[in-house]
Amino acid sequence: MILPLSELFQPERRVLIAGAGGGFDVYCGLPLALSIVAAGGFVVLGNLSFTRVAQCGGERISDAAWRVDRQAAELPYFPEKWLCEWLGRQGLELPVYAFDRVGVAPIADAYRAVITTHAIDRVVLVDGGTDSLIFGDEPGLGTVCEDAVSLVAADIATGGQAILAAIGFGIDHFHGVSHHSFLENVSRMIRRNGFLGSFSLPTDTRESRALLDLIEYANQRQPLHMSIVVNSLAAALRGEFGDYHTTSRTTGTELFINPLMLQLWCFRVHAVVREMIYGDALRDTKTAHEAQAVIDAHREEVSVRPRRPVPL
């Protein structure tokens, strides 16, 4: 049996792992990155950033991409810097890039710049949650704009060869995502030959322990804005279940921490983009505002699926 993403674990493989939805999404790619490095490959990490990346002081390699390191400016919200600091403490000098929160065209240019600079031969987008597999007619879209921009941009930059790995089934319930619709979308990906398979993140491994340590380090560096996504994932990794809260940001809501959050669902990005009702219209957007306007305009014209519970 061939496991999803097994082609990445080859000596001399050069992989860009990029957080698709911004925030702490790139952290979800750490276990994959460490596994690739252990197999003899080379990894570059990137992330669509919610911080003021133009103020980070790093090297600018395109209009929307900055290299980040431990010496970057001390900004109040800066997951990419915390990642660099943690990597340095582990003796890992992986290049890290932050991408500005803009439209598809400049993000595609940013991906191309990283691909060229580091001779990248594979691009994997990682999503903390599952709202990257949103086509536009679901009853809840989550925080779809950033994911959609990243997916369309990566599809353009790689000529249709990028991969999506989404982890955290159930996390996006907090943002109104229908997991019935997500599973329906996975079935559509199976019919379109776009589903590469899924597998669970092992809990008692060097990679999973490293992820827990990174998340705890980020919590210490940014205690007033702890990530809901990665802390939910950490809770699942520790075996917590149900309405378990790690951060006060979720107070007053009901969470469902569960083992399915540890599943990585893997897809061909090109197949996902083809199903987006706004995929083509996003291609030439320059700003995040333009991208959101495109999504909103298409949303007004589509017949929205009814919200259904998973009948289990």
296 domain residue, yes or no: yes
Residues 77 and 222 sit within 8 Å (Cβ to Cβ): yes
pLDDT, position 312:
81
Per the confidence metrics, is the pTM higher than 0.95?
yes
pLDDT, position 2:
63
pLDDT, position 252:
84
pLDDT tens digits for 28-51? 999 999 999 999 999 999 999 999
68 domain residue, yes or no: yes
Q: Which residues of the chain fall below pLDDT 70?
A: 1-2
236 domain residue, yes or no: no
Opening angle at CA 82, ends 95 and 10, nearest 5: 35
1 domain residue, yes or no: no
Q: Which of 147, 170, 93 is nearest to 269 (CA)?
A: 147
160 domain residue, yes or no: yes
Q: Sheet containing 65-68: give its strands across.
A: 60-62, 65-68, 96-99, 42-48, 14-19, 122-128, 163-167, 263-268, 195-200
Nearest-angstrom CA–CA distance, 257 and 235: 7
Nearest-angstrom CA–CA distance, 97 and 49: 9
pLDDT tens digits for 178-230? 999 999 999 999 999 999 999 999 999 999 999 999 999 999 999 999 999 99
* 181, two tokens: 């619709």
Cβ neighbours, 10 Å, residue 45: 26
Upper half-sphere CA count for residue 283 (Cβ side, 13 Å)? 10
220 domain residue, yes or no: yes
310 domain residue, yes or no: no
Q: Which of 120, 154, 128 is nearest to 265 (CA)?
A: 128
Tell me, what amino acid is at 108?
A
Task: Give me the number of domains the chain comprises.
Answer: 1
pLDDT, position 282:
99
272 domain residue, yes or no: yes
Domain that holds residue 296: 11-228+261-301
